[in-house]
Amino acid sequence: MKPNDRITESENPNTAGIDKLDVTSALLLINEEDSRVAQAVKDAVPDIAELIENLVPRVKKGGRLIYIGTGTSGRLGVLDASEIPPTFGVPPGRVVGLIAGGYDALHQAVEASEDDFRAGAEDLDSIGLGPNDSVIGIAASGRTPYTIGALAHANRLGCLTGCITCVPDSEIVDQAAYPIVAVVGPEVIAGSTRMKSGTAQKMILNMISTMLMIRLGYVIGNRMTNVRPSNEKLRERTVRILVSETDLDEASAIELLNRTDGDLKVAIVTAKTGATIERAVEALKASDQVIATAVERLGAI
């Protein structure tokens, strides 16, 4: 066992008496410990950036981003992957989340599955893992056999591999070509890595997936221009974005969105190029749904 192996499960001297505190004092103590997470993630930014720079070209060529993990780590990966299609309007399957124990593990503990070194590889094979894919293993402790085995298998197939962990020099770091380590220290409650470690993992996952979508062209300025208007709030947002991105007034924007069945991408391309809706659809299809590329194909007016 390496010296740092138990860092995420060691007892935190700062919170040793938390069970004796009043609620407000205990919450302030939790908040104080949480405040250390952002700095730990900031310290890891150079490594996060390096992973993203190498990830983007592979995804542009059709490879998938695959998160894999167990317990809290696996759930966070599945959560991030599931939020990408509705947030950025990309097809499901571009970003994939796998968790040991499958769907049941999302809402109930299936923790024994994390000890199976071969199961991670089997789960990756079940989705047709190929050399163009990129696999990021998520493990707070850095020593989860399921996740380590998954990365070892991905390496053998020639995939890009990365990891998100909170323990330096851990086993998973040895398996990842692009390791990300956010050292948040002991948890408020010993071993409860859903807290500081989970927060760090969530922040890093947000960074990776958001920057990936930006680099793929699914964001203009700071606007999610591929958003799908699946409810009233999102319908109002699409109108605001269309007005901001074009010279249309609100009434004209609503009229154009009605003609494009609410497809913001098509509406923006149509408004910016003067093309017909049909030509805008074709240009977007040929441009992997990236608005800027479609506009360039058609020529902005």
Per-residue pLDDT reduced to its tens digit, 168-214: 999 999 999 999 999 998 888 887 788 999 999 999 999 999 999 99
- Residues 32, 140: Cα–Cα separation, whole Å: 20
Catalytic residues: 83, 114
Q: Where in the chain is the domain with CATH 1.10.8.1080?
A: 232-298
Contact 160, 129 (CB under 8 A): no
Per-residue pLDDT reduced to its tens digit, 98-153: 999 887 777 776 665 777 889 999 999 999 999 999 999 999 999 999 999 999 99
**Cα-flanking dihedrals φ and ψ of residue 48, to 5°?**
-65, -45
Radius of gyration, CA atoms only, the chain? 22
- Residues 135, 69: Cα–Cα separation, whole Å: 10
Per-residue pLDDT reduced to its tens digit, 207-264: 999 999 999 988 888 877 777 777 888 889 999 999 999 989 999 999 999 999 999 9
CA 198 to chain centre: 13
What's the pLDDT score for residue 220? 81
DSSP string, 175-216: H-SEEEE----S-SSTT-TTTHHHHHHHHHHHHHHHHHHHHH
Mean confidence (pLDDT) of the chain: 90
The residue among 124, 148, 116 whose CA lies nearest residue 5 is 148
CATH 3.40.50.720 fits 232-298, yes or no: no
Q: Where in the chain is the domain with CATH 3.40.50.10490?
A: 13-216
- Write the CB contacts of 194 (distance below 8 Å, at least 6 apart in sequence): 72
Distance of CA 223 to CAs 207, 227, 242, 244, Å?
16, 9, 10, 9
In percent, the amount of the chain with pLDDT more than 90 equals 71
The mean-pLDDT minimum among 41-50, 86-95, 136-145 falls in 86-95
Terminus-to-terminus CA distance in the chain, angstroms?
Answer: 64
The residue among 120, 175, 117 whose CA lies nearest residue 142 is 175
- Write the CB contacts of 196 (distance below 8 Å, at least 6 apart in sequence): 33, 34, 36, 37, 166, 184, 185, 187, 188
3-state DSSP helix/strand/coil % of the chain, to nearest 5: 55, 10, 35
CATH 3.40.50.10490 fits 13-216, yes or no: yes
* H or E stretch at 96: strand 95-99
In this prediction the pTM is 0.86
- Residues 266, 197: Cα–Cα separation, whole Å: 41
